[in-house]
Amino acid sequence: MGRWEPGARERLERAALELYVERGFEQATVAEITNRAGLTERTFFRHFADKREVLFSGQAEMLEICVNAIVGAPEAVAPLDAVAEALRAVSAPLEERRERSQRRQTVIAANAALQERELLKLASLASAVADALRRRGVTEPTASLCAEAGLAIFKVAYERWIGEPGGRTLADVIQDSLDHLKAATAG
Amino acid sequence: MGRWEPGARERLERAALELYVERGFEQATVAEITNRAGLTERTFFRHFADKREVLFSGQAEMLEICVNAIVGAPEAVAPLDAVAEALRAVSAPLEERRERSQRRQTVIAANAALQERELLKLASLASAVADALRRRGVTEPTASLCAEAGLAIFKVAYERWIGEPGGRTLADVIQDSLDHLKAATAG
DNA sequence: CACTGCGATGTCAGTCACTGTCATCACGTA
DNA sequence: TACGTGATGACAGTGACTGACATCGCAGTG
């Protein structure tokens, strides 16, 4: 445990998201975040590589879910369908925290530096997915293409899901995007 | 023209790429770059928003080429094929400077911050492409999906082209990747 | 040729993200 | 009680980036 109160990392994440929402990412300083969390700047940088990373702690979990879904899919499933299955698996935890996802996404949408970090996280996700596909025997360049295409589907679907009034499920929007992509590439 | 020698921007770009190759992106300071270019730090930041941007000046040109290719494509051409045409149009100027592209890509591959910037540039490219498709009458989510799929094709093809001994043309690799994607989504 | 407006550069001080280093504290264990 | 371990605090330092103002070169104008 920590020196005084436990859960330092979680407190930092909460304080950071709050401040980023209140005053914007650039206007919030790390000193303010750590003050609100009752810690020092140095401790912030022990938990997070930089000021942006504090918004992306869930990434490791998403990556694990994705890879497991692909590795665990039946042999007969086609590469792109295995990727779609992984996306559906990932959508579940996001679905549960729609409110939080929306607040987070609003912050990210307002700042280019945060968009960069999100794109890097998604790219590393695609890289891991391509790896998992290769372990299923899928050859290049099909593995990378399916991974990147899945990423494209997810990006489009996630954006639509966040922006929509709230009727459809994220999994539904993903399926819809997949169908549209298949139709567009059928020509 | 500038205060003394003309071409300040170009001198900064050259000096930066040289230093990034010699000692790596993080180890090179802006002060060193501007010393080599015979300018001051302040001038560097007047020409480029940050230390990374100096490697991405060709982006605006690529974007224009892309959009023009799509807008100029015949009405009958399917969305994804219009995107493929745009990618081929973009590949021409890259083809001519293969050596430079390789050096640049080596620097970028060695540093996460530069990869982030590249991903952001590619994302803005995709966004512009989706815009151009919409102006052709393509509806959502097809426009965004085709743009993102085209981005996926380009990423995979470019990486392969840079890494290959040098036999195939970038345009060839792009066509090959497009075929593979169509095959993978046909299931 | 002198004058003047403008754009690009130089100068300087300042903020803030991020790092290295060492001291300090809480907690478990012998 | 003594000790080891891990997380935190304290502090100095580097470097990216910014704002404000002075300065210089070049064009046009008279």
Query: In the prediction, which pLDDT does A107 show?
Result: 98
Q: Report how far residue B45's alpha carbon sits from residue B42's, in angstroms, rounded to the nearest whole number.
A: 5
**Chain centre distance of CA A22:** 22
Distance of CA A135 to CAs A77, A143, A150, B88, B135, Å?
14, 10, 17, 32, 41
Query: In the prediction, which pLDDT does B3 show?
Result: 54
Q: Report how far residue A93's alpha carbon sits from residue B167's, in angstroms, rounded to the nearest whole number.
A: 46
Q: How confident is the model at residue A31 (pLDDT cuts 50, 70, 90)?
A: very high
Give the tokens for residue A57.
Answer: 């702690």
**Closest-CA residue in chain B for A122?**
B119
Q: How confident is the model at residue A2 (pLDDT cuts 50, 70, 90)?
A: very low
pLDDT (tens digit per residue) in A58-67: 999 999 999 9
Sequence-distant contacts of B157-163: CB under 8 A, at least 24 apart: B157/A141, B157/B87, B158/B94, B159/A144, B160/A141, B162/B101, B162/B102, B162/B105
Domain B58-185 CATH assignment equals 1.10.357.10: yes
Point out the residue nearest to C8 (C-alpha to C1'): B2
Query: In the prediction, which pLDDT does A5 show?
Result: 66
Can you state the angle between helices A8-23 and A98-109, rounded to 10 degrees? 60
- Mean per-residue pLDDT for A1-19? 84
Q: Residue with structure tokens 């399917």? A: B78
Taking CB atoms and an 8 Å limit, are A120 and B112 in contact across chains?
Answer: yes
Query: For residue A115, which of B118, B160, B182 has the smallest C-alpha distance?
Result: B118
Q: Name which of A117, A156, A160 is nearest B116 (Cβ-Cβ).
A: A117
Report helix, strand and coil shares of chain B as percent, to nearest 5. Answer: 75, 0, 25
Contacts of B182 in chain A (CB under 8 A): 185-186
Query: In the prediction, which pLDDT does B143 show?
Result: 97
Domain A56-184 CATH assignment equals 1.10.357.10: yes
What's chain A's average pLDDT? 94
**Closest-CA residue in chain A for B187?**
A78
- Mean per-residue pLDDT for A92-107? 93
- What residues in chain B have per-residue pLDDT under 70? 1-5, 187
B29: three-class secondary structure by DSSP: coil
Q: Report how far residue A101's alpha carbon sits from residue A170's, in angstroms, rounded to the nearest whole number.
A: 12
Length A42 CA → C22 C1' (Å):
14
Q: Which of residues 114-133 of B touch A (CB under 8 A)?
A: 115-117, 119-120, 123
Who wins on pLDDT, A6 or B163? Answer: B163
Kindly state the DSSP code that residue A26 receives in the 8-state scheme: T
Residue A8 parent element (H or E): helix A8-23
Query: In the prediction, which pLDDT does A167 show?
Result: 82
Contacts of B180 in chain A (CB under 8 A): 141-142, 145
Q: Report how far residue B123's alpha carbon sits from residue B140's, in angstroms, rounded to the nearest whole number.
A: 17
- Mean per-residue pLDDT for A39-53? 98
Query: In the prediction, which pLDDT does B5 show?
Result: 64
Q: Report how far residue A136's alpha carbon sits from residue A75's, in angstroms, rounded to the nearest whole number.
A: 8
Phi, psi for B165 (deg, rounded to 5): -50, -30
- Mean per-residue pLDDT for A17-38? 97
Q: Name which of A116, A146, A153 is nearest B120 (Cβ-Cβ).
A: A116
Amino acid B68 reads: N
Q: Report how far residue B34's alpha carbon sits from residue B30's, in angstroms, rounded to the nearest whole number.
A: 6
Give the tokens for residue B128.
Answer: 């512009």
Amino acid A80 reads: L
Query: In the prediction, which pLDDT does A12 show?
Result: 97
Q: What percent of chain A has pLDDT over 70?
A: 97
Contact A158, A177 (CB under 8 A): no
Q: What size, in residues, is chain A?
A: 187
Query: In the prediction, which pLDDT does B6 show?
Result: 73
Give the tokens for residue B48.
Answer: 């480029």
pLDDT (tens digit per residue) in A112-144: 999 999 999 999 999 999 999 999 999 999 999
Q: Residue with structure tokens 């270019």? A: B37
Q: Report how far residue A36's alpha carbon sits from residue A134's, in angstroms, rounded to the nearest whole number.
A: 46
Query: In the prediction, which pLDDT does A164 show?
Result: 86
Q: Name which of A78, A152, A187 is nearest B149 (Cβ-Cβ).
A: A152
Strand C surroundings (CB within 7 A): A 1, 3-4, 28-31, 41-42, 45, 49-52; B 1-3, 8, 38-43, 46-47
Which residues are within 8 A (CB) of A105 and not within 5 positions of it... i.e. 6 or more apart? Answer: A162
Length B66 CA → C5 C1' (Å):
40
Q: Where in chain B is the domain with CATH 1.10.357.10?
A: 58-185
Strand D surroundings (CB within 7 A): A 1-3, 8, 38-43, 46-47; B 1, 3-4, 28-31, 41-42, 45, 49-52
Distance of CA B44 to CAs B52, B57, B154, Å?
11, 13, 31
Q: Where in chain A is the domain with CATH 1.10.357.10?
A: 56-184
Q: Name which of B119, B145, B180 is nearest A180 (Cβ-Cβ).
A: B145
pLDDT (tens digit per residue) in A141-179: 999 999 999 999 999 999 999 988 878 999 999 999 999
CATH number belonging to the domain at A8-54, selected among 1.10.10.10, 1.10.286.10, 3.90.1170.50, 1.10.10.60: 1.10.10.60
Query: In the prediction, which pLDDT does B167 show?
Result: 82
Q: Where in chain B is the domain with CATH 1.10.10.60?
A: 8-54
Contact A51, A30 (CB under 8 A): yes
Kindly state the DSSP code that residue B54 receives in the 8-state scheme: G
Query: In the prediction, which pLDDT does A91 show?
Result: 95
**Closest-CA residue in chain B for A144?**
B156
Length B38 CA → D20 C1' (Å):
23
A166: three-class secondary structure by DSSP: coil
